[in-house]
Amino acid sequence: MEEWKPRGRDVVIGGVPWLARIADKARAKADGTIGDYIYPCPIDQRFLAEAGLSAEEFMNLATSAKTDDELVNAFLEKSKRKDWSSFQP
């Protein structure tokens, strides 16, 4: 069985760097399948701080979204920061 891995650090969805990776990790944490990965790691914490969301709030958002489009829309609606183009993970 292959070890689970989140999407790569360079994957950008909806113009938001890191969103795909942090969402994968939040979902895996909720499912109990995260393995050796850490949610929220220091980069996750910085990302969430800029969004104005707690790790628990984001986990709820990520696990509720059925698609990447739903995730992006829900995240941008709740995020304090609207322009993520300059975010460097």
Helices (H), the chain: 19-31, 42-51, 55-64, 68-78
Give the Cα separation of 25 and 37 in Å (integer): 7
28-70 pLDDT per residue, tens: 999 999 999 999 999 999 999 999 999 999 999 999 999 999 9
pTM score over 0.85? yes
CA 53 to chain centre: 11
Q: What percent of the chain has pLDDT over 70?
A: 98
Give the Cα separation of 42 and 13 in Å (integer): 20
